[in-house]
Amino acid sequence: AQKVTQAQTEISVVEKEDVTLDCVYETRDTTYYLFWYKQPPSGELVFLIRRNSFDEQNEISGRYSWNFQKSTSSFNFTITASQVVDSAVYFCALSEADTDKLIFGTGTRLQVFP
């Protein structure tokens, strides 16, 4: 069965701290896709990144970086030098090869204080 676990319900940091959001997934498929979405206080869902199961290369985009490790079934998200605007709920999600349907984790609420 597919499952996404985000064990951290809420994280609070002070601006400029680095923070890592954990995501652990379960799937029986060898081909699958992992996603991160950001939900700011305004409520919309913003796509951040997609990674397929054959690409374990880490990705960096500005202050954001993602670490994909198949050996531990994890797809963690790190924000470097956090800013107040990073305050949001972050969702990790999984889709398998034969479907576009996303299975979401329960989200991690990140609060960045000035």
Distance CA 105, CA 61 (A): 22
Least gap, CB of 58 to other proteins (angstroms): 18
Distance CA 2, CA 43 (A): 26
- CB of 37 or CB of 75, closer to other proteins: 37
Q: Which of 90, 55, 49, 92 is nearest to 70 (CA)?
A: 55
Q: 14 to 73, contacts with other proteins by CB under 8 A?
A: 31-33, 35, 37, 42-45, 47, 50, 52
User: If residue 41 lies in a helix (H) or strand (E), which one and from where to where?
Assistant: none
Q: Which two tokens stand for residue 45?
A: 């869902």
- Site size toward other proteins, by CB under 8 A: 25
- CB of 79 or CB of 105, closer to other proteins: 105
Residues that bind other proteins (CB under 8 A): 4, 9, 31-33, 35, 37, 42-45, 47, 50, 52, 91, 95, 97-98, 100-102, 104-107
